[in-house]
Each structure stands twice: as C-alpha cells, then as structure tokens.
Amino acid sequence: MWLFIINIFLFLGLCFVLLHFLAGEERHLSIIIFFAICLWFMSFIVWMLHFKDHVVA
C-alpha cells in the first residue's frame, strides 16, 4: 500500500515539474519530463496488474 502512495506522490511531482518547464524558458526539458511521466504510467500499470494477481490468488 505504501508503494501506491509513493507512486501517487511521484506522479504529482513529475506533473508539477512538467508544468514548471512548460511555463518557463526550458521547454525542451518538458519533453524529457513527459517521457518520464509516460514511463512512470507504464510501470504503474504493470505494478497494478502484478498486485492484482497477488490479491486474487
């Protein structure tokens, strides 16, 4: 359960950094942050599917 909470805070932090870079001068860094959010989301989906198998079994 604590890993789920850490994932939520990580996602919110990445979104905050992305918005900061989109509003500022460093727009090229926002692409890197966007890919980081995509990687986080994919790993989160895999983790949730793995967690679901443990809860059901």
Q: What is the pLDDT of residue 55?
A: 62
Q: Hey, where are the domains in the chain?
A: 2-56
Tell me phi and psi for residue 53, to 5 degrees.
-65, -35
pLDDT (0 to 100) of residue 4: 72
Q: Is residue 57's pLDDT more than 60? A: no
pLDDT at 11: 80
Closest CA to 42 of 21, 5, 22, 34: 34
pLDDT of 4-54, one tens digit each?
A: 777 778 888 877 877 777 777 676 777 777 888 888 888 888 888 877 776
The pTM of the full predicted model, rounded to 2 decimals, is 0.53
